[in-house]
Structure formats: structure tokens, C-alpha cells
Amino acid sequence: MDHPVADMPKLLTPHETLRLLRLDHVKTPSCVLFQLRKKGLPALRVGKTYKYPADAVLQYLQSRVAQSGQRPTV
């Protein structure tokens, strides 16, 4: 039997989310994340902060790369 926690999605901190999206250099990271949530990026409220599902962040990133027509560089 698999452990039930193994099936749970990995949640990213705001800092990890910004680093993954390569937006960690912006001056107002909370505003950037707020705008991304308004555009549909799923987030879970945990205490006073938000956590972002890693799968959703990667899917968002892939959709943005597909819209730009560029090849992803990882």
C-alpha cells in the first residue's frame, strides 16, 4: 500500500514559485503573485501566506511558453 502523502501535490512557497517562473528579480513579488492569482494560477492560503501547487505552476509556465512560440530552456 502506498503512503497517502505520496499522492499529494508538492506545494511551493512564493519564493520558490517566483524562482521557477524566473521572476525572482522583480521589485514587488507580492504584487506579481497577486496578478498571477487573478489570472488563474491556483494557490492555497496557508496562514498568512499562499502556497502554489508545483504541477499548476509548471503547467502555467508551459502554457506561457507555448503562447510565445519559443522553445523552453531548462
pLDDT of the chain along its 74 residues, tens only?
455 656 667 999 999 999 999 998 999 999 999 999 999 999 999 999 999 999 999 999 888 877 777 665 55
The residues that bridge with 49 in the sheet, in sequence order, are 46
The sheet that has 11-12: what strands, in order across it?
A: 11-12, 49-53, 44-46
Q: What pLDDT is recorded for position 68? A: 72
Nearest by Cα to 56 from 4, 11, 8: 11
Q: What is the pTM of this model?
A: 0.76
Amino acid 53: pLDDT: 95
Phi, psi (degrees; rounded to nearest 5) at 65: -70, -40
